[in-house]
């Protein structure tokens, strides 16, 4: 399959007056048409920064230190603002968590959706409004015509989330970057919306990157999963194999924690030591039960234990062969 979007060795840092802090250390990720990748990891692992980097939304104090983001044969990192403006919202669309904050509080919903539509389509205001009604209907908002004249502060959080998603669907984008789609939505609605996104990806040959902390969402709606820890993808695998046998100790811990929460045994879940990621060697080593002296010496490179499966762990082979328990 040809890749739609190829992120290659992306490095991002954040500058303060006390120096530079690396945030993404060489992220590589490919998206194929029809593919949905779930990105999981704790807050601060760099998921949102990754998504925003793709759209060229990172301004100072963020800086891109290296890598490529390839889309339609061009490197998006070399695009200027005007070129990016043409891509954003049309080819690559984004949804965000905290949807209410992301809507303009002083203009009506209809006006905002129409502006998004008219940014890339040469249609009349009336046609844009009609399309807005259609989009709101698609994401399951009742009485869409009535909502057009409303303001964001008059809507619930879940309603705002659906409005944001409606805006992301306005242009039949090839790539959907879906950041925390289920936060604030009840189960029925989030299922409805994820079904909708899955349908679009399948029917249009689009691709989606779904950032979520909800492993259930990833398990049901994604083909592949990428686990991020401290600015690196530590493991990437097809969803089925990943959930059967995670190879990275951090992945294993995520799954155990999720299972513990499901079994209402949160109290017995491992009290994770609140240790910061290491700067040298494997960044997870300080929290890892299986860490050896070698883990602290160098950053483990990606190993490919099976086709389409990547892991960054010195002990992955031992884990895979069941020699150690994760």
Partner 1 sequence: MSEAVQVPSPASGGIAAAAPIPRAGGLHTFARFVGQRPAFLTGLAIVGITVFLAAVGPYIGPYPTETALPGDTLQPPSWRHPFGTDVSNMDIFSRVIAAPRIDLTIALVSTFIAFVFGVLLGVISGFFGGERGLARYASEGIMRAADIVQAFPVFIFALALVGFRGPGAINVIAALAFLNIPFFLRITRGAVLQVRERPFIEAARCAGNSEWRIAFFHVLPNALTPPVANISPTIGFSILLTSGLSFVGAGVPVPTPEWGSMIAIGAPNMMTGQWWTALFPGIALGISILGYALVGDGLKEFLDPTKRV
Partner 2 sequence: MRFARYIARRLLLLPVQLLLVSLIVFFLVRQMPGEPTFLYTGPFATKERVEEVRRQLGLDQPIHVQYVRYIERVIRGDFGMSLRTSQPVMTDVRQRLPATMELIGYAVVFSVLIGVPLGVYTAIRKRGIINRAVFLYGMMAGALPDFWFALIAIFVFFFHLGLLPGPIGRIDLMVSTPETITGMYTVDALLTANWAAFFSSASHLFLPVLTLVFIYMPLVLKNARSAMEDMLGSEFVVYARAAGLPRLMQWRYALRNAMPPIITVTGILAWFLLGGAVLVETVFAWGGLGQYAVQSVVNSDYAALQGVVLLSAVFTMLVFLVVDLAYFVVDPRIK
CB of 153 to partner 2, least distance (A): 5
CB 242 within 8 A of CB 252: no
- Draw the binding track, 195-234, toward partner 1 (x: CB under 8 A; -: no contact): ------------------xxxx-------------xx---
CA 207 to CA 184: how far, in whole Å?
24
CA 282 to CA 249: how far, in whole Å?
12
Q: Residue 307: name its binding partner from partner 2, partner 1, none (Cβ under 5 to 8 Å by kind).
A: none
**Residue 150 or residue 277: which is nearer to partner 2 going by CB?**
150
CB of 149 to partner 1, least distance (A): 35
Q: Residue 21: name its binding partner from partner 1, partner 2, none (Cβ under 5 to 8 Å by kind).
A: partner 1
Pairing label, strands 224-229, 36-40 = parallel
Cα-trace Rg, the chain: 21
List 6, 11, 22, 302, residue binding partner 1 (CB under 8 A)? 22
Tokens, residue 109: 């919903």
User: Distance from CA of residue 181 to its chain's centroid?
Assistant: 9
106 binds partner 1 (CB under 8 A): no
CB of 57 to partner 2, least distance (A): 6
**Residue 14 or residue 151: which is nearer to partner 1 going by CB?**
14
Q: Which residues contact 41 (CB under 8 A, 6 or more apart)?
A: 47, 227, 228, 229
Dihedral sign (CA 223, 227, 232, 235) = negative
Q: Which helix (H) or strand (E) holds 219?
A: helix 215-221
Stretch that binds partner 1, among 63-71, 81-89, 253-261, 299-307 (CB under 8 A): 253-261
**Residue 237 or residue 255: which is nearer to partner 1 going by CB?**
255
Residue 239 has a CB neighbour count (10 Å cut-off) of: 19
Pairing label, strands 5-16, 19-31 = antiparallel
User: Distance from CA of residue 133 to its chain's centroid?
Assistant: 27
**Residue 147 or residue 315: which is nearer to partner 2 going by CB?**
147
End-to-end CA distance of the chain: 34
CB of 216 to partner 1, least distance (A): 8
CB of 182 to partner 2, least distance (A): 18
List 266, 289, 297, 306, residue binding partner 1 (CB under 8 A)? 266
Dihedral sign (CA 14, 298, 209, 84) = positive
Q: Residue 275: name its binding partner from partner 1, partner 2, none (Cβ under 5 to 8 Å by kind).
A: partner 1
DSSP-derived 3-state class of residue 192:
helix
**Residue 261 or residue 317: which is nearer to partner 1 going by CB?**
261
List 254, 288, 316, 326, residue binding partner 1 (CB under 8 A)? 254
List 80, 142, 276, 301, residue binding partner 1 (CB under 8 A)? 276
> Which stretches of the chain bind partner 2, using CB under 8 A?
52, 55, 57, 81, 85-90, 93-94, 96, 98, 101-107, 115-116, 119-120, 151, 153, 164, 167-168
**Residue 121 or residue 259: which is nearer to partner 1 going by CB?**
259
Tokens, residue 103: 């809507």
Dihedral sign (CA 170, 175, 181, 185) = positive
Residues that bind partner 1 (CB under 8 A): 14, 16-19, 21-23, 40, 42-46, 61, 213-216, 230-231, 254, 257-262, 266, 269, 272, 274-277, 279
């Amino acid at each position: 399959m040809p890749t739609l979007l190829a992120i290659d060795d992306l490095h991002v840092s954040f500058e303060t007056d006390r120096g530079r802090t690396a945030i993404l250390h060489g992220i590589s990720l490919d998206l194929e048409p029809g593919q949905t990748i779930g990105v999981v990891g704790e807050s601060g692992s760099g998921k949102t920064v990754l998504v925003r980097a793709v759209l060229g939304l990172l301004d100072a104090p963020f800086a891109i230190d290296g890598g490529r983001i390839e889309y339609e044969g061009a490197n998006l990192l070399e695009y200027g603002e005007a070129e990016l403006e043409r891509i954003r919202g049309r080819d690559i669309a984004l949804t965000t968590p905290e949807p209410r904050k992301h809507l303009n509080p002083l203009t009506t919903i209809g006006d905002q959706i129409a502006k998004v539509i008219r940014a890339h389509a040469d249609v009349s205001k009336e046609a844009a409004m009609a399309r807005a009604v259609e989009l709101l209907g698609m994401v399951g908002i009742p009485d869409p015509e009535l909502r057009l004249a409303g303001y964001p502060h008059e809507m619930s959080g879940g309603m705002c989330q659906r409005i944001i998603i409606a805006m992301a669907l306005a242009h039949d984008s090839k790539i959907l970057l879906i950041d925390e789609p289920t936060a604030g939505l009840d189960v029925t609605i989030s299922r409805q919306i994820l079904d909708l996104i899955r349908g679009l990806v399948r029917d249009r040959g689009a691709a989606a990157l779904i950032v979520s902390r909800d492993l259930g969402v990833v398990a049901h709606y994604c083909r592949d999963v990428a686990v991020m820890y401290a600015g690196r993808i530590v493991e990437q695998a097809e969803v089925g194999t990943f959930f059967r046998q995670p190879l990275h100790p951090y992945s294993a811990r995520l799954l155990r924690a999720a299972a513990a929460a499901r079994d209402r045994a949160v109290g017995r879940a491992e009290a994770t030591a609140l240790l910061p990621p290491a700067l040298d060697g494997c960044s997870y080593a300080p929290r890892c039960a299986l860490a050896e002296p070698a883990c602290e010496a160098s950053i483990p490179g990606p190993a490919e234990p099976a086709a389409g499966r990547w892991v960054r762990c010195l002990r992955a082979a031992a884990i895979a062969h069941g020699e150690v328990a994760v």
